[in-house]
Structure 1
Amino acid sequence: MSFSDISFKKLAIIMIAAGVVAVFAISGFQARNLFAPSVTEEAQVILKQGDKCIVEGSDRVPREIQNCPYNEGDTVLISYKPQQPSIERHEPRQRASK
């Protein structure tokens, strides 16, 4: 089998896939992080500027919440993938009932 036996479309798909793998390899990206389970934990709003808040999880990565309804010092429940800066979900911490 040679390259002349492969259709142009299949060859293009192979080249694109190889390019994506090469970019991930060069950037040091680890594919396993894509499939890592999410972490959900409490975090405190450490900074609020305009409609953006910054929170920091136990992995010490600062994360930004857009259109943030919280105030500086509030404790919120956040879900994220370890070592990735995006937040998947956030909600106010539920207070224990008396």
Structure 2
Amino acid sequence: MHNLWIPVVAIFAVAGLVFGSQAYSEAKRDAHIAAIISESLDSQAPAEISHLQRVNKGYGVCGDYKLSGAESGHFYYNSATKRLALGTDAPLYHDNCEGVAN
């Protein structure tokens, strides 16, 4: 019976590491996107991002941003090319986020 617990514990440990690192990676990506939006808009305050939707097999993110002022809008970020598009008029946003349900 002792020999059965070792593989079970090992499986749970590996699963915890995989899912934990994925959650950490997504949080880090979200913070990076918020910082890039703030920098692009010359804002000292960090942007708040919401309604995130993964697109392009996980390489792109569509969502909404809001600054501490009244400014808000939509964005698209491509994690492979590190390109950011702000606003629904931007060609990258139009090509990747139109028709994506938020």
Greater Cα radius of gyration, structure 1 or 2: 1
TM over 0.5: no
Instruction: Looking at secondary structure, tell me which structure has more strand per residue.
Output: 1
User: TM (normalized to structure 1)?
Assistant: 0.30
The one of the two structures with greater contact order (alpha-carbon pairs below 8 A, sep at least 6) is 1
